[in-house]
Amino acid sequence: MSIVDIVNSYKGIEGCYRCGEKDTNILEYYTLKNTKRAPHIYTMIAEEVELRVIMHEVSKCIVMCNRCFEKYYGKYEIDSSGPQLCYIF
């Protein structure tokens, strides 16, 4: 199993923190206000960073589906510049 597969499958295991959606095609990683922004997960994978380091950065993110992101972003101010996207699969 590749690192991309592991990171992608983690999204499905976690699911959307708002609605529980498990479809990895519409799930994304986000960091929130007051959380140090994680490096882009894709960049870390491309640079062959160790899996444990990547997963540590993933642990700083929440998983949210596109639908809930639109609702959440419209209702709450996550950051003055919007949510900080870690990586979209």
Mean pLDDT of 39-56: 88
**pLDDT over 70 for what percent of the chain?**
72
Q: Which residue has the higher pLDDT, 67 or 34?
A: 67
Q: Give the max Cα distance, the chain.
A: 38
Cβ pair 17, 71 in contact under 8 A: no
- Which stretch of DSSP H or E encloses residue 65? strand 62-65
Residue-level pLDDT at 72: 74
**How many other C-beta atoms can be found within 10 angstroms of the C-beta atom of residue 82?**
10
pTM of the model: 0.70
Q: What is the pLDDT of residues 10-47, one digit of tens each?
A: 999 989 989 999 999 999 888 766 666 666 787 888 99
What pLDDT score does 87 carry? 41
